């Protein structure tokens, strides 16, 4: 039986931190913006999201996708693409409507949209901008936080490598006592991180240690060898990434507060590890319901920001409160509209439902339910 993991409320908390950073920066009073700006709470929450993704994806591979890289990648696309496409289309409609009315504002100091923003090519690129490198050809990004999805996709490719290598028979061989497939995955991941740190690869590879920490946390929970060493190395990489990003930060206030940011990140990582160890199933249904709101809230709150700014303006506590309430309502509605159909498709690809019932055969009935496997 797979234990339920209480990640739902934690995931929603991270999404709310991202929302708060954007709304404080663009809608709330200027005093709020100045006070919150140095701590970049939303960016820190995104880094915690990456670590959480490392945990739940490692568990999903361990429980469901061993030697099934195609099924793994297909299920990840089913998890991401429907909500992502809906969010991009919503953003396009919102921008177009308020542009037509002449009231469009998409940030506190936003200017006019660039030429070609609504061209066919740019719209197509926005719809595909969950894929790495696609954003380079865009004249305007209608979903700014899509960069985080591209980083996730990078991790999924590395995860596919980890799934596929044992299928080649490499797991039979060892190098200095370490399985060759494991050594190859760690070596490739480390090389990508080091090259990114040296400026030779895109910055997305700077986040490899964050995903690695989540993997290490899961392996430690399962009492697997090497988990402590991986965890220590991941924390060192996370610290290096924080220092590197601070040095390249354009805002002096944000750069100077990098230690406060990393302390907040470590607190969130500790909370994630604590949530992973909870064994009670009490309130599991509530936790799962909260978790389902996370992705639509994360993807659509910036469209709500544009709506509130374009209708009521910013620099207002009332506008801020309206934006938060409207974002939560939108997340509830989109979760109810999109998730049921997508979940059925994902159950079929996975071969198992996450509610203790088999999706295809009675042989799968013994598999239980996991909040971590909500990413499965």
Backbone angles phi, psi at 199, to 5 degrees: 80, 15
The answer to whether the CB of 208 falls within 8 A of the CB of 54 is no
| Residue 313 belongs to domain spanning | 8-375
Burial class (CB in 10 A: 0-12, 13-18, 19+), 229: exposed
Residue 3 lies in a domain: no
Radius of gyration of the chain (CA): 21
Number of structural domains, the chain? 1
pLDDT of residue 175: 56
DSSP string across 210-256: HHHHHHHHHHHHTT-TTHHHHHHHHHHHHHHHHHHHHHT-S-HHHHH
pLDDT of residue 138: 94
Which of 345, 367, 342 has the alpha carbon at shortest distance from 354?
367
pLDDT of residue 166: 74
Residues of the chain with pLDDT below 70 are 1-3, 167-179, 181, 354-376
The whole-angstrom separation of Cα 300 and Cα 296 is: 6
Largest CA distance in the chain: 67
Residue 137 lies in a domain: yes
pLDDT of residue 354: 66
Identify the residue whose tokens are 């499965």: 376
pLDDT of residue 286: 93
Residue 2 lies in a domain: no
pLDDT of residue 369: 33
Residue 329 lies in a domain: yes
| Bridge partners (DSSP) listed for residue 178 | 175
| Bridge partners (DSSP) listed for residue 174 | 179
Residue 190 lies in a domain: yes
pLDDT tens readout for residues 9-52: 999 999 999 999 999 999 999 999 999 999 999 999 999 999 99
Residue 1 lies in a domain: no
The answer to whether the CB of 24 falls within 8 A of the CB of 249 is no
Which of 280, 164, 262 has the alpha carbon at shortest distance from 213?
262
3-class secondary-structure state, position 9: helix
The whole-angstrom separation of Cα 60 and Cα 346 is: 13
Residue 144 lies in a domain: yes
pLDDT tens readout for residues 187-205: 999 999 999 999 999 999 9
The whole-angstrom separation of Cα 14 and Cα 16 is: 5
The whole-angstrom separation of Cα 227 and Cα 55 is: 12
Residue 206 lies in a domain: yes
């Amino acid at each position: 039986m797979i234990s339920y993991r209480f990640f739902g409320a934690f995931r929603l908390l991270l999404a709310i931190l991202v929302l708060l950073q954007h709304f404080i920066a663009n809608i709330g009073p200027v005093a709020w913006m100045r006070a919150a700006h140095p701590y970049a709470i939303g960016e820190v929450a995104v880094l915690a999201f990456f670590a959480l993704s490392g945990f739940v994806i490692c568990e999903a591979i361990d429980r469901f996708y061993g030697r099934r890289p195609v099924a793994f990648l297909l299920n990840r696309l089913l998890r991401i693409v429907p909500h992502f496409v809906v969010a991009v289309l919503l953003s396009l409609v919102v921008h177009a409507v308020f542009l037509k009315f002449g009231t469009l504002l998409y940030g506190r100091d936003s200017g006019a949209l660039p030429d070609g923003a609504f061209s066919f090519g740019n719209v197509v690129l926005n719809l595909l901008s969950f894929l790495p490198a696609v954003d380079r050809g865009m004249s305007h990004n209608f979903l700014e936080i899509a960069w985080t999805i591209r980083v996730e996709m990078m991790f999924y490719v590395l995860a596919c490598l980890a799934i596929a290598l044992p299928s080649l028979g490499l797991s039979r061989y060892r190098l200095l006592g370490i399985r060759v497939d494991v050594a190859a995955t760690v070596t490739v991941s480390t090389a990508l991180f080091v090259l990114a740190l040296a400026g030779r690869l895109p910055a997305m590879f700077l986040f490899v240690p964050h995903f690695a920490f989540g993997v290490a946390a899961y392996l430690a929970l399962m009492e697997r060898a090497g988990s402590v060493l991986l965890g220590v190395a991941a924390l060192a990489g996370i610290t290096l990434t924080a220092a590197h990003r601070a040095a390249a930060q354009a805002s002096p206030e944000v750069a100077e507060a990098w230690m406060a940011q990393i302390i907040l990140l470590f607190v969130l990582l500790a909370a994630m590890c604590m949530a992973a160890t909870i064994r009670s199933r009490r309130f599991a249904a509530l936790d799962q319901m909260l978790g389902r709101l996370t992705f639509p809230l994360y993807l659509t709150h910036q469209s709500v920001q544009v709506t509130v700014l374009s209708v009521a303006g910013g620099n207002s506590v009332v506008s801020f409160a309206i934006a938060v309430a409207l974002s939560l309502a939108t997340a509830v509605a989109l979760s109810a509209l999109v998730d049921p159909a997508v979940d059925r498709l994902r159950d079929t690809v996975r071969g198992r439902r996450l509610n203790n019932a088999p999706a295809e055969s009675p042989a799968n009935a013994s598999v239980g339910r996991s909040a971590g496997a909500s990413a499965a």
